[in-house]
Structure 1
Amino acid sequence: MDQRTLDRVTRYVVALAEFDRNARAAMCGDVSNEESAVRVYLEHHLHEPDLIRPVLGLASGSVVSVDAFVGALRLRAVAFYSGTEISEHEAMFDYSIDPDGTQYLLAVRFDTHGRVDRIDIES
């Protein structure tokens, strides 16, 4: 990684909490989209009540709100793309509801301007 690339990705490290908040806000907003990765992820895991409700601290049969769900996601990894890897994405934040209970992640991608560009499900 050259110095210019290091300077660009340093902003994610220095302001990690801010980028995390931006990613979570984007995930909450994504639920209303017709092809929402967050909604698919949430609905998939709601079929596993023994996984979701304990993570959220809810009694069985409780309604799981999008805000509670997104708030309970754990930031598992942050990846940076440099050199020839840079296309439209510069950083990717991976979130999981329970890393030991599911193989699926929500991947929030940031563009070269530091804005959330895309949210996908990955395994």
Structure 2
Amino acid sequence: MDGPGVVELPDGRRVRGNGIRRPRGGATSPDHAVYLLARDPGPRAWSYRWVRWRDFSVPASTDDALAALAEAYARAAVERVEVACGGGVGRTGTAIAALAVLGGVSRDNAVD
């Protein structure tokens, strides 16, 4: 997986960060996605987990968010994985920082 929004973790796994309100353009569809939104985004052509997470807030369930991100991290070893919120910046960036920690980045450096 290459292109805009793709982050490579230290262990080589790649995850695409995206905004659900943005057009996909030429980006390849994911095999699995994690959607960080206030409402379930509805049917998709790929598997996904919805984490109830309102904009400018925290996840409704920390346990659900961590489970969804742990699954995404595991699947990223062999599948195309995408993490997306509405705009693709705040919640998505927070989630990708958490994935970076799972990939071996220190918590102090995960956002960088």
TM-score computed with the length of structure 1 as normaliser: 0.28
Larger relative contact order (Cα-Cα within 8 Å, sequence gap ≥ 6)? 2
TM-score computed with the length of structure 2 as normaliser: 0.30
Larger CA Rg, structure 1 vs 2: 1
Task: Return the structure number with greater helix share.
Answer: 1
